[in-house]
């Protein structure tokens, strides 16, 4: 079921009422048809129509997430450490030793456990994830979660903003939780990547309909220009965790973890995992080259909360 909540168009970022259709006939995993509307003024792109909460809940089913057995495996932990190592190094450079970090959209808490093992105090929350019995993980949204203001040295927010119905208000709320001088690290898929240019509706990070927003660097800069006391201090276009797999899955969607888990009783068989990892390696050079041209599969921003 699709719910049409906007009869007339109004850009969620700049309020402009003019758009053009970037893409039509995007099929969701449930077989529904959506289009992408791009604001003529600020380039912010949104999925239309907005899916009903009920539709979204069906999309965030068990196969959306890694099973706790998978995320506990040695291979997964090793790969996760390798892929997130760069961000850990940056965190250690940017915030005090032992600093307090909040992970917005924490999933099953794998990232929180890694940062805790690296000497930070880590907390996390997620709206849809099945939260294991972990006192550092809470279930909720940025609007409902209860943390004091000005208490975090850093907030990490990987692949969250594209899911939000009101990104401006949600990011403002997150920035209130940061200490002055604190850092927010944001990563989202890049709608002006070469991957999107090539694969269009088959580009894996589109994730219709769970992705309601589709950002470019321009629209992200617009978003943070609206948020008081924020300054973008670093921009990147590559993620070890996302970039090669986004390209691999756009060309070979069979390897999609969600599809494989549906077929193999919520598990990703080891032999298939090895093939999938080898396929990802083939896409590394392309993912690195496109990122050098600022057209990588993701945009990663480091934003500092200024003193003003
Ligand atoms: Zn706009």
* DSSP conformation letters of 266-299: T---HHHHHHHHHHHHHHHHHHHHHHHTT--SEE
Please give the structure tokens belonging to residue 202.
Answer: 């088959």
Q: For 8-44, write each residue's pLDDT tens digit.
A: 899 999 999 999 999 999 888 788 899 999 999 999 9
Residue 63: pLDDT over 60: no
Task: Please report the pLDDT score of residue 72 as a whole number.
Answer: 65
Residue 118 Cα to ligand 1 midpoint, Å, equals 40
Residue 13 Cα to ligand 1 midpoint, Å, equals 5
CA–CA distance from 105 to each of 72, 136, 195, 215, 262 (Å)? 19, 13, 24, 18, 23
Residue 24 Cα to ligand 1 midpoint, Å, equals 19
The residue length of the chain stands at: 308
Residue 15 Cα to ligand 1 midpoint, Å, equals 6
Residue 222 Cα to ligand 1 midpoint, Å, equals 9
Residue 145: pLDDT over 50: yes
Residue 285 Cα to ligand 1 midpoint, Å, equals 33
Residue 217 Cα to ligand 1 midpoint, Å, equals 13
Half-sphere exposure in the Cβ direction for 61 (13 Å, CA):
13
Residue 198: pLDDT over 50: yes
Residue 3: band (very low, low, confident or very high) from pLDDT cuts 50, 70, 90: very low
Phi, psi of 246 (to 5 degrees): -60, -45
Residue 2: pLDDT over 50: no
How is domain 19-305 classified at the CATH fold level? Rossmann fold (3.40.50)
Average pLDDT over residues 133-145: 89
Residue 70: pLDDT over 70: no
Residue 38 Cα to ligand 1 midpoint, Å, equals 8
Task: Please report the pLDDT score of residue 238 as a whole number.
Answer: 97
> What is the value of pTM for the model shown?
0.91
Residue 60 Cα to ligand 1 midpoint, Å, equals 28
Residue 292 Cα to ligand 1 midpoint, Å, equals 27
* Cβ pair 257, 268 in contact under 8 A: yes
What ranges do the domains of the chain cover?
Answer: 19-305
Residue 61 Cα to ligand 1 midpoint, Å, equals 32
Residue 63 Cα to ligand 1 midpoint, Å, equals 34
Please give the structure tokens belonging to residue 89.
Answer: 């190094």
Alpha carbon distance 240, 188 (integer Å): 13
Sign of torsion over alpha carbons 288, 294, 299, 305: positive
Residue 274 Cα to ligand 1 midpoint, Å, equals 43
Average pLDDT over residues 261-289: 88
């Amino acid at each position: 079921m699709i719910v049409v909540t906007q009869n007339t168009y109004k850009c969620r970022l700049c309020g402009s009422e003019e758009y053009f259709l970037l893409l039509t006939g995007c099929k969701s995993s449930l077989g529904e048809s959506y289009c992408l509307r791009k604001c003529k003024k600020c380039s912010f792109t949104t999925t239309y129509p907005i899916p009903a909460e009920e539709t979204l809940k069906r999309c965030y089913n068990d196969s959306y997430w890694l099973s706790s057995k998978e995320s506990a495996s040695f291979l997964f932990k090793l790969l996760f450490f390798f892929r997130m190592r760069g961000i850990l190094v940056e965190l250690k450079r940017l915030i005090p030793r032992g600093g307090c970090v909040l992970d917005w959209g924490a999933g099953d808490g794998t990232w929180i456990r890694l940062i805790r093992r690296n000497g930070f105090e880590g907390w996390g929350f997620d709206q849809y994830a099945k939260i294991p019995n972990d006192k550092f993980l809470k279930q909720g949204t940025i609007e409902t979660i209860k943390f004091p203001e000005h208490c975090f040295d850093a907030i990490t927010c990987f692949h969250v903003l594209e899911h939000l119905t009101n990104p401006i208000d949600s990011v403002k709320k997150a920035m209130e939780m940061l200490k002055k001088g604190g850092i927010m690290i944001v990563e989202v898929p890049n709608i002006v990547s070469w991957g999107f240019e090539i694969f269009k509706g088959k580009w894996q990070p589109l994730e219709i309909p769970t992705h309601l927003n589709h950002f470019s660097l321009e629209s992200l800069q617009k978003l943070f220009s609206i948020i008081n006391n924020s300054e973008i201090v670093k921009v990147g276009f590559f993620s070890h965790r996302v970039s090669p797999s986004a390209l691999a899955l756009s060309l070979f969607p069979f390897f999609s973890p969600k599809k494989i888990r549906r077929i193999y009783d919520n598990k990703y068989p080891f032999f298939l995992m090895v093939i999938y990892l080898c396929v990802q390696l083939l896409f590394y050079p392309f993912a690195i080259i496109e990122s050098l041209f600022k057209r990588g599969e993701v945009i990663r921003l480091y934003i500092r909360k200024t003193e003003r």
